[in-house]
Each structure stands twice: as structure tokens, then as C-alpha cells.
Amino acid sequence: MWIRTLFVVLIYLQRKSINADAGNDAAIKCSSLPDPLNGKKTGCTNMKSKPYDTRCNFSCNVGYSLVGSPIRSCQENGSWSGEKSHCQAINCSSLPDPLNGSKTGCTNITSEPFDTRCKFSCNVGYSLVGSPIRRCLENGNWSGEKSHCQGKD
């Protein structure tokens, strides 16, 4: 009799363990992460919640750089690994107007957005030294060389 009881208890515990494991896997969910503005999320669908170990990849459109984690995973505790991901506009610091010349195509505020092209020219009697056109690059730096106007001899 005690062998039969032991057998029933073992079967009960085994079923309980299997159900608990299945329930835990099914219960581990992370809330859905939003697509970043000016970017995209791949590797995970737009369902309301994601199962454990789901990985979301984040990237940004041209002219924007990713701030935060490029890959986030749904963890066992129901939270996402890493830091919140968002896309930030790439800007270059404003270029000064050349002395005895002018600059066009720029906003003349403290920074210029990615792909802005500044054109430099000089007043009569001066010649341009450096790049006549400079472009704000994806790394936040300007292309070309510093432009200035030099008096003609």
C-alpha cells in the first residue's frame, strides 16, 4: 500500500513540476517596447507583450544616432535588459562667417542639422582659403577644411 501511495505522490509532484515550469515560461512576459521615433525596431513584433528571451534590435534613420542599447532582451524577471533606446538628431556646431566674406546655406544658430551644406565666399579683393563648401557629416563633424578669406597681394 505504501508503495502505491508513494507512486501516486511522485506522479503528482512530477505533473505539478511540469505544469509549474510551463506556467512560469508562459507567465514570463515583458511589455512591448515602442519603435523609436526616426528609427526602427526589429526582431520582435508589435504584440502587447513579449515572451521571455525575446530580443529587440534598434536602429536609426540616416541623420540620427542611437542613444541607449542597440539590443534589449526580455529577462526572467519580466523587465528588459539594457537602457531605453531612442534616436537623436545628428548636429554639427555652427561654423563662423569668414572675416571679409560670407556664408550661405546655414541657419547661423548654435548648431546645424546633418547634411547641411554651408557655402563660403569672399568679398572683392579677397580669395578663399579652405573648402568652399562644407557638409555636416553623420559623425557630427564638418567635411573639408576651415574656410577663411585672405587678402590678395
Q: Where are the chain's structural domains?
A: 31-89, 92-151
Q: Which residues contact 26 (CB under 8 A, 6 or more apart)?
A: 51
pLDDT: which is higher, 39 or 53: 39
23 pLDDT band (50/70/90 cuts)?
very low
For the segment(s) 31-89, the CATH number from 3.40.50.300, 1.20.1250.20, 3.40.50.80, 2.10.70.10 is 2.10.70.10
49 pLDDT band (50/70/90 cuts)?
low
Give the per-residue pLDDT at 4: 45
With residue 8 as reference, give the H or E element that holds it: helix 2-27
pLDDT digits (tens, 9 = 90+) for 70-126: 999 988 888 899 999 999 999 999 999 999 999 999 887 889 999 999 999 999 999
Give the per-residue pLDDT at 53: 77
Give the per-residue pLDDT at 50: 67
Above 90 in pLDDT, residue 17?
A: no
Looking at CATH, the fold of the domain delimited by 92-151 is given as Complement Module; domain 1 (2.10.70)
Residues 42-70 have a mean pLDDT of 86
**In the block, residue with C-alpha cell 514570463:** 28
Cα–Cα distances (Å) from 108 to 2, 45, 143, in that order, read 90, 42, 17
Record the pTM.
0.66
Cα–Cα distances (Å) from 103 to 100, 135, 152, in that order, read 11, 13, 19
Q: Which of 91, 89, 106 is nearest to 147 (CA)?
A: 106
Cα–Cα distances (Å) from 40 to 50, 65, 142, in that order, read 17, 12, 27
Grid cell for residue 80: 528588459
Q: Which of 110, 61, 108, 69 is nearest to 89 (CA)?
A: 61
pLDDT: which is higher, 122 or 25: 122
**Do the domains 31-89 and 92-151 sit in the same CATH topology, yes or no?**
yes
